[in-house]
């Protein structure tokens, strides 16, 4: 439900300083017109020499840093007020998620569940997925002993972090009425575009069902071998009524719409195909992790000054192309009525492809500034984003 930002932060602060019940806190995203020092901060209570403190963990892209602060109301409130748009507070009775909207209101959602507190200084991260879950064995992440394979540990962490982003965002969208509340007759529809081995596809299906949510999940991949393998796994797990796989190109898939569209590391313009499919089908929530950005990079023949000082170096030109591509994708999504964030969904030590575009359809009219920025960037760089040609409703006047 919507609350004033002050009231929501006070509520979160009270939960955090109650170290007898606190389990973990995640701060991520950035509020409109505010800057944050770190993309994401993880917080948990730890016991050191008989006293309970709050341990903050964050990553700067090179190393992970931890520091401890007192569970002091003023310090905690200052941190909560520093500009983060998404605040998740887990305690022993459940999870409270706060999302600060573009207008400055706070959407607050509470999920009732039982969580365990662990104050060990070397506490292992709470797992959303039981390593013994049969689907993890079937997709090759876990072994027959119910343990994560060392070679699949990074993949397992990606899947877990994806779920940590999906669930609060999904709950907030349902709470705000942007996605209809799922029911047995009208389950939540999810399409994973370019699903490959379907790690995320199965994980989203299994985890949301474990929460009691009615879902129907479809995985799309161009390779018939992937379709056949994944459908065989679904049959082994006895879930073919609620999950299915197709061997189709994203741009020409027979799947026509979904509430939630997922695309993790679809290569180059396949990411644009996934975004366009989602937008054209009216998807309400998009979670897109791009991979490879060759299209814009090939168009960057001449760089506007003073950017030539950067793009004369090949590796920096490539990274600039990455940034331009995803910035323009975000602008296009804003212009066609989505609220957009670009976030880091897992630390760079696990994968270099760790940027995620998270978009929720609000139907809001675009700001003139968004249109002006899009027009100016494309004109200065002389580029035409592939996505702009794939969405019929995209116009900038």
For residue 14, pLDDT beyond 90 = yes
- Of the ranges 269-273, 325-329, 393-397, which one carries the lowest mean pLDDT score? 393-397
For residue 233, pLDDT beyond 60 = yes
Q: What pLDDT shows up at residue 63?
A: 57
**In terms of domains, do 216 and 363 share one?**
yes
- Band the pLDDT of 228: cuts 50, 70, 90: very high
pLDDT tens, 301-312? Answer: 888 999 989 888
Q: What pLDDT shows up at residue 351?
A: 42
The answer to whether residue 191 sits within a structural domain is yes
Residues 327 and 246: their CA atoms lie apart, in Å, by 31
> Measuring CA to CA, which residue among 103, 151, 133 is closest to residue 233?
133
The answer to whether residue 302 sits within a structural domain is yes
- Of the ranges 53-62, 140-149, 263-272, 273-282, which one carries the lowest mean pLDDT score? 53-62
**In terms of domains, do 168 and 68 share one?**
no
**In terms of domains, do 150 and 70 share one?**
no
Query: Is the separation of the CB atoms in 23 and 117 below 8 Å?
Result: yes
**In terms of domains, do 27 and 170 share one?**
no
**In terms of domains, do 263 and 197 share one?**
yes
The answer to whether residue 128 sits within a structural domain is no
**In terms of domains, do 47 and 194 share one?**
no
CATH of the domain at 158: 3.40.50.150
**In terms of domains, do 78 and 140 share one?**
no
For residue 350, pLDDT beyond 60 = no
**In terms of domains, do 195 and 70 share one?**
no
- Mean pLDDT along residues 250-270: 87
**In terms of domains, do 93 and 226 share one?**
no
Query: Is the separation of the CB atoms in 391 and 332 below 8 Å?
Result: yes
Residues 103 and 208: their CA atoms lie apart, in Å, by 29
The answer to whether residue 129 sits within a structural domain is no
Range of the domain at 85: 2-112
* CA-to-CA separations, 123 to 56, 114, 294, in angstroms, rounded: 13, 18, 41
**In terms of domains, do 239 and 192 share one?**
yes
Residues 43 and 34: their CA atoms lie apart, in Å, by 21
The answer to whether residue 124 sits within a structural domain is no
**In terms of domains, do 301 and 153 share one?**
yes
> Measuring CA to CA, which residue among 298, 295, 250, 296 is closest to residue 276?
250
Query: What is the count of structural domains for the chain?
Result: 2
**In terms of domains, do 224 and 189 share one?**
yes
């Amino acid at each position: 439900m919507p609350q004033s930002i002050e009231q929501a932060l006070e509520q979160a602060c009270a939960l955090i300083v109650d170290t007898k019940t606190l389990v973990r806190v995640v701060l991520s995203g950035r509020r409109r017109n505010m800057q944050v020092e770190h993309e994401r901060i993880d917080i948990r209570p730890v016991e050191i020499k008989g006293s309970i403190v709050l341990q903050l963990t964050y990553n700067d892209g090179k190393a992970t840093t931890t520091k401890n602060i007192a569970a002091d109301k003023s310090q905690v409130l200052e941190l909560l007020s520093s500009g983060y748009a998404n605040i998740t507070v887990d305690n022993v009775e459940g999870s409270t998620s706060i999302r600060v909207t573009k207008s400055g209101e706070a959407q607050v959602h509470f999920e009732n569940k039982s969580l365990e507190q662990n104050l060990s200084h070397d506490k292992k991260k709470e797992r959303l997925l039981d390593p013994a879950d049969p689907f993890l064995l079937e997709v090759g992440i876990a072994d027959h002993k119910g343990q994560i394979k060392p070679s699949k540990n990074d993949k397992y962490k990606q899947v877990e972090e994806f779920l940590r982003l999906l669930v609060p965002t999904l709950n907030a969208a349902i709470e705000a009425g942007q996605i209809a509340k799922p029911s047995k007759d009208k389950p939540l529809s999810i399409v994973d575009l370019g699903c490959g081995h379907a790690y995320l596809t199965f994980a989203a299906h299994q985890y949301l069902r474990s929460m009691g949510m009615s879902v129907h999940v479809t995985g799309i991949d161009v390779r018939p071998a992937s379709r056949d393998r994944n459908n065989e796994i679904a049959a082994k797990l006895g879930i073919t009524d609620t999950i299915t796989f197709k061997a189709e190109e994203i741009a020409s898939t027979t799947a026509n719409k979904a509430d939630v569209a997922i695309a993790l590391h679809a290569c180059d313009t396949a990411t644009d195909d996934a975004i366009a499919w989602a937008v054209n089908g009216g998807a309400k929530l998009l979670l897109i992790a791009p991979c490879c950005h060759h299209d814009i990079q090939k168009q960057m023949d001449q760089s506007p000054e003073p950017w030539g000082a950067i793009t004369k170096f090949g590796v920096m030109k490539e990274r600039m192309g990455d940034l331009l591509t995803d910035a323009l994708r975000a602008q296009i999504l804003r212009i066609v009525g989505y609220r957009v964030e670009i976030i880091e969904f897992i630390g760079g030590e696990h994968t270099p492809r760790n940027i995620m575009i998270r978009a929720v359809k609000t139907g809001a009219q675009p700001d003139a500034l968004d249109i002006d920025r899009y027009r100016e960037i494309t004109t200065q760089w002389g580029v035409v984003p592939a996505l702009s040609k794939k969405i019929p409703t995209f116009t900038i006047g």
